[in-house]
Structures are given as structure tokens and as C-alpha cells.
């Protein structure tokens, strides 16, 4: 008997998952909740084998939730079902201690397969996802020099310029604010673009949002 818990912010969908799993004789659904606090209590159950987490975003809160769950009950293995199966999201989930990941294209059969696999002590990733992870790994190998793509590679001054620019300041306004020449502001932006390998201002805005420099 495999004891399973379900968490889904979308209550109806959680109930749906439960309905699927209850069809399998080996499976026993211990709980199914859309409430985070209740989840934290239920998750401490010593009998719990598998915890199915359906997530709808990849916010810091959500990722922290996964980490916390893996800490409060290491015996319960985490199976994350994610609607968003972009490369970025998958990497985030894998990093956050999940033992298995299913994407939006997963089938009922795959869900059941994944649970058995996790129960047997192995990790499970949907084929499309494992391919993705592999690609990511290969890319890492191919660039021995870490591209240093993140915020860390930027200097304080560069971030400051980016921050003001993100507030819709013009170059002139930024220059006035920082008591430097407009050309310097321009140079800073150029250096940032070069360093981050971005093609356009649109991508720079996206980067800034991802890194919490610009609020949306």
C-alpha cells in the first residue's frame, strides 16, 4: 500500500487527482488539501510515502514550500506536477529537492508510473523534461567558463543604473541622479547588455523583473 497526500491550490483539480489515484488499488489517499497550513500539518504524517504537489507558479514562496516540505518529512518523497514546463521552471523545481516532476502533457498512466517509481526509491521525470534537463547539463559542460548570467555578475553601479532605468528614468535623468555624464550612463547600459548577452531592451526588462530590480 502506498500512502499518498495531495496538495493543489486549485481544489477542484486536487479532487480530480484524488479521484484518479483512488482508482488504483495499491494507492491510499491520506489527504487532499488546498490549504497551505493544513498541508504543513498533514505532511508530518509518518505513514506518508508520496506527496503530490500541483503547482501553478514558480514564485519564491512556492519553491520555499517545496524545500520546507522535504525538510519536515524526508521520508515522504515529493512529486511535483507543474503546469508550466519551461526549461527555467523545471530547473527551479529540480533544484528545490523534488524527487519527481510531471509536466502538463503527462497522462494518468504516467502519474501512476511516477508514483511507483518514486516509491521504489528512484527519481522520475517526464521524458520531455528529462531531455530538457539533459540539454541544460550539456550546455553547462560546453561552456566551462560559467557565463555568469545572473545579477551577481553586475557591479553595484550597474545595478543602480538598471534600477533607475527600470523606473522609467531617461539617460539624462539617471545622469543627473548619479552626478555623472549621460555618456557614462550609456556606457553602463552597454556594458550590462554585453555582459548579460541580451539583444534588446525588452530582454533587459525581463531580466530586471526576474531579478527583482523592476517590480511589475
Residue 193 interacts with DNA (CB under 7 A): yes or no: yes
Binding status of residue 104 toward a copy of itself by CB under 8 A? yes
* Cα separations in angstroms, 203 against 5, 143, 160, 175, 196: 40, 22, 18, 22, 10
- Binding mask of the shown chain, residues 155 to 194, with x at each position contacting a copy of itself by CB under 8 A: ----------xxxx-x------------------------
End-to-end CA distance of the chain: 46
149 binds a copy of itself (CB under 8 A): no
d(CA 216, CA 214): 6
Q: At what angle do helices 60-72 and 87-95 cross, to 10 degrees?
A: 30
Please report whether residue 167 would count as binding DNA according to CB under 7 A. Answer: no
Return the half-sphere exposure (C-beta side, CA atoms, 13 A cut-off) of residue 112: 13
Q: Applying CB under 8 A, does 201 fall inside the site for a copy of itself?
A: yes
Strands 77-82 vs 2-8: parallel, antiparallel or unpaired: unpaired
For a copy of itself, the closer of residues 73 and 106 by Cβ is: 106
Q: Which H/E stretch holds residue 102?
A: strand 100-102
Identify which range of 128-136, 148-156, 188-196, 208-216 contacts a copy of itself by CB under 8 A: 208-216
Judged by CB under 8 A, the stretch of 91-99, 140-148, 178-186, 200-208 that binds a copy of itself is 200-208
Beta carbons within 8 Å of 174's beta carbon, 6+ residues apart:
161, 164, 165, 185
The reply on whether position 206 binds a copy of itself by CB under 8 A is yes
Instruction: Enumerate residues 3-62 that contact a copy of itself by CB under 8 A.
Output: 9-13, 15-20, 23, 34, 54, 56
Site residues for DNA per CB under 7 A: 153-158, 170-172, 178, 180-184, 186-191, 193, 195, 200-201
Amino acid at each position: 500500500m502506498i500512502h499518498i497526500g495531495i496538495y493543489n491550490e486549485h481544489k477542484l483539480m486536487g479532487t480530480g487527482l484524488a479521484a484518479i489515484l483512488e482508482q488504483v488499488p495499491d494507492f491510499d489517499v491520506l489527504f487532499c488539501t488546498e490549504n497551505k497550513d493544513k498541508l504543513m500539518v498533514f505532511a508530518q504524517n509518518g505513514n506518508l510515502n508520496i506527496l503530490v504537489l500541483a503547482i501553478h507558479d514558480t514564485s519564491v514562496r512556492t519553491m520555499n514550500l517545496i524545500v520546507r516540505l522535504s525538510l519536515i518529512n524526508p521520508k515522504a518523497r515529493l512529486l511535483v506536477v507543474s503546469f508550466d514546463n519551461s526549461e527555467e521552471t523545471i530547473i527551479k523545481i529540480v533544484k528545490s529537492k523534488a524527487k519527481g516532476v510531471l509536466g502538463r502533457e503527462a497522462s494518468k498512466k504516467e502519474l501512476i508510473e511516477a508514483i511507483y517509481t518514486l516509491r521504489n526509491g528512484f527519481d522520475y521525470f517526464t521524458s520531455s523534461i528529462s531531455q530538457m534537463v539533459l540539454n541544460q547539463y550539456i550546455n553547462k559542460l560546453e561552456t566551462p567558463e560559467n557565463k555568469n548570467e545572473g545579477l551577481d555578475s553586475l557591479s553595484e553601479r550597474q545595478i543602480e543604473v538598471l534600477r533607475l532605468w527600470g523606473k522609467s528614468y531617461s539617460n539624462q535623468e539617471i545622469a543627473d541622479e548619479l552626478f555623472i555624464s549621460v555618456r557614462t550612463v550609456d556606457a553602463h547600459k552597454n556594458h550590462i547588455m554585453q555582459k548579460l548577452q541580451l539583444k534588446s531592451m525588452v530582454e533587459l526588462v525581463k531580466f530586471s523583473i526576474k531579478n527583482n530590480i523592476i517590480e511589475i
